[in-house]
Amino acid sequence: MPNLEHPAYPAAALLHLESLVPCRESQVSLLLSIFGERQQFSFPSIFIYGHTSSGKTYVMQTLLNTLKLPHVFVNCVECFTSRLLLEEILIQLQSCSSETEPTSPVPCDTFNDFVRLFKQALVSRGLQDQTLYIVLDRAEQLREMEANILPAFLRLQELTDSNVTVVLLSEIVWELFRPNVGCFDPLTLYFPDYSIGHLQKILSQNHPPEYTADFYAAYINILLGVFYMVCRDLKELRHLAALNFSKYCEPVVRGEANERDTRKLWKNIEPHLKKAMQTVYLREISSSQWERLQHDDGEPGQLKGLSAHTHVELPYYSKFLVIAAYLASYNPVRTDKRFFLKHHGKIKKTNFMKKHEKTSNHLLGPKPFPLDRLLAILYSIVDKRVAPTANIFSQITSLVTLQLLSMVGQNDQLEGPRYKCTVSLDFIRAIAR
């Protein structure tokens, strides 16, 4: 077991840190050795990537907090413009080391301003002699901002000429980031997924105070057995564990089984967990509803999930419009005559046709069709005479807003508009009934 060792930091703090980051000791020690001592210059930029909930954010946060390193932590999704991002960094910097009331935020529109203000802030807070860490979480968002933001952050040390290290956290690999030329390549670091053993260890760590650690560990074991196949997200697993634990304890509370009676407990909980996998995990029913169900001991059957309500009630002509749109989207134009005309000619079966019929149109997806074709099919599938009233046209538009149809290429008003049908065959079957 690699114990964390570093001459610059007190051993007690390191020990504490180690207890906080289970299964990530090697990464932490690597990071520590990269960071070096407080006043030493570190690598200008570090890129850490790994799958969802592999502890990137958590490790960085605990590391910086426990060792009390000066840092700024920013989530890039939250700061959706570059201005917000830069200002957020400056604000955090101002309140970082000093207890003084933060002054009103200064407007910072460009990276040039940022560098200037950043240097000022460093001097005024007395941070020149320590490494400042700027952590940008969900850094993939940076790619959508102005083109200069990402390269500039990578070279922030050089630009500001001060002791600063930028840490980028992301779920995707560096290769997808790299701007074209002249970019400083950061040091990349990979956080591997937690293995089932790791998950077991981490999840069992915080057990409820009423029960022993062993009892909870056994429960986690069962839980992982059910859910590991579909979900490796630590957060989600912890959430599920908390949701279902009371059910697991039920026999013990009632006195029917003691804490060691694993087999009995397993029999009790397993079907319940399977049901949870089909409902709560998919967010078919909400977790609060699930808890209430557990409480009342009701059958989840009474409570229909979201997917149960697929039926959409549509006005009479809207139904026909959707059906007509579906037909227009999935049938080739040349078959229209055959299907919708009373006196169509003989069906010629050519080799050419046969070859094409083999690939199902459903595999190819919907094709766009002009408005007139939609109306022509509508007239032929509705029994009665349909007047092309304003209501029919407005229904087409409202179907577009309902996302049942979608408009293709809406540049020219005079050009006949073209649509696509976006609903599935099942939907059409349901409304055609």
Partner 1 sequence: GCFVFKPSAKKRKLSQTTAHGFGIRNDDSEDIELRFDTCQSLWNQIKSETEKVQEDLNKQLLDNLVSFLSRSHSEVQEKTTDWTCRMKFREIPTAALVLGVNVTDHDLTFRSLSDFLQNNITPYIALLEAKDCPGIKNLMQKLMGQLMNCYVDVDSLEDEDYVQVSQNRIRCSMSSLIKWYESVTKKTDSETPSKKRTSSSTHWQSPPVVVIFKDMESFTTKVLQDFIVISSQHIHELPLVLIFGIATSPMIIHRLLPHSVSSLLCIELFQSLSCKDHLSTIIDKLLLTTQFPFKLGEKVLQVLINIFLYHDFSVQNFIKGFQLCIVEHFYSQPLSVLCCQLVDLQKRVNSLSHDQCENIRRLPSFRRYVEEQESGKQVALLTTDNFLKEETQKLLEDLHVYHENYVSVLRCLHVFTSSLPKYPLGKQIRELHCACLENQVWETEEYKSSLQLARMLNKSDLVTMLQQCVEILLSSSGKEFDKTVEKLKKFMTQFQNLEEAFQEQDVSVSSQKELQKKTDLYHLQKTLLEMKESRRSKKLTKFEMLRFEVVDYIDSLVRKYLVPADHRTLHEILYFNTAAVLRGHLNAAPRTALHTALNNPYWYLKNQALKGDEGSISNKAPDICIAYKLHLECGRLINLVDWLEAFSTVVMAGEEPNADTASSDQMDDIIHARFIRAVSELELLGFIKPSKQKTDHVARLTWGGC
Binding site for partner 1 (CB under 8 A): 52, 75, 77-81, 84, 87-88, 105, 206, 208-210, 233, 235-236, 238-239, 241-243, 245-246, 282-283, 286-289, 304, 306-307, 309-318, 372, 376, 387-395, 398, 401-404, 414-416
- What is the smallest separation between the CB atom of 361 and partner 1, expressed in angstroms? 22
- What is the smallest separation between the CB atom of 34 and partner 1, expressed in angstroms? 27
Nearer to partner 1, 235 or 356 (CB): 235
Distance set, CA 165 to CA 71, 132, 230, 280 (Å): 9, 6, 37, 42
- What is the smallest separation between the CB atom of 289 and partner 1, expressed in angstroms? 6
Following CA atoms 282, 283, 287, 291 in sequence, which dihedral angle do they give, to the nearest 10 degrees? -60
Tell me the one-letter amino acid at 320: F
- What is the smallest separation between the CB atom of 75 and partner 1, expressed in angstroms? 7
- What is the smallest separation between the CB atom of 407 and partner 1, expressed in angstroms? 12
Nearer to partner 1, 67 or 321 (CB): 321
Nearer to partner 1, 347 or 390 (CB): 390
- What is the smallest separation between the CB atom of 310 and partner 1, expressed in angstroms? 5
Nearer to partner 1, 18 or 137 (CB): 137
Whether residue 399 contacts residue 353, with contact meaning beta carbons closer than 8 Å, is answered with no
- What is the smallest separation between the CB atom of 124 and partner 1, expressed in angstroms? 21
List the one residue out of 356, 359, 389, 364 whose CA is nearest residue 375: 389
Whether residue 405 contacts residue 427, with contact meaning beta carbons closer than 8 Å, is answered with no
Secondary structure string (H, E, C) spanning 89-134: HHHHHHCCCCCCCCCCCCCCCCHHHHHHHHHHHHHHHCCCCCCEEE
Nearer to partner 1, 104 or 351 (CB): 104
Nearer to partner 1, 9 or 215 (CB): 215
Nearer to partner 1, 334 or 346 (CB): 334
- What is the smallest separation between the CB atom of 164 and partner 1, expressed in angstroms? 22
Collect contacts of 277-284 with beta carbons under 8 A, ≥24 apart: 277/226, 277/227, 277/230, 279/305, 280/240, 280/243, 281/227, 281/230, 281/231, 281/236, 281/240
Per-residue b/e over 326-363, b at no fewer than 16 CB within 10 Å? bbbbbbeeeebeeebeeeeeeeeeeeeeeeeeeeeeee
Rg (CA), the chain: 31
Whether residue 96 contacts residue 89, with contact meaning beta carbons closer than 8 Å, is answered with no
Nearer to partner 1, 8 or 282 (CB): 282
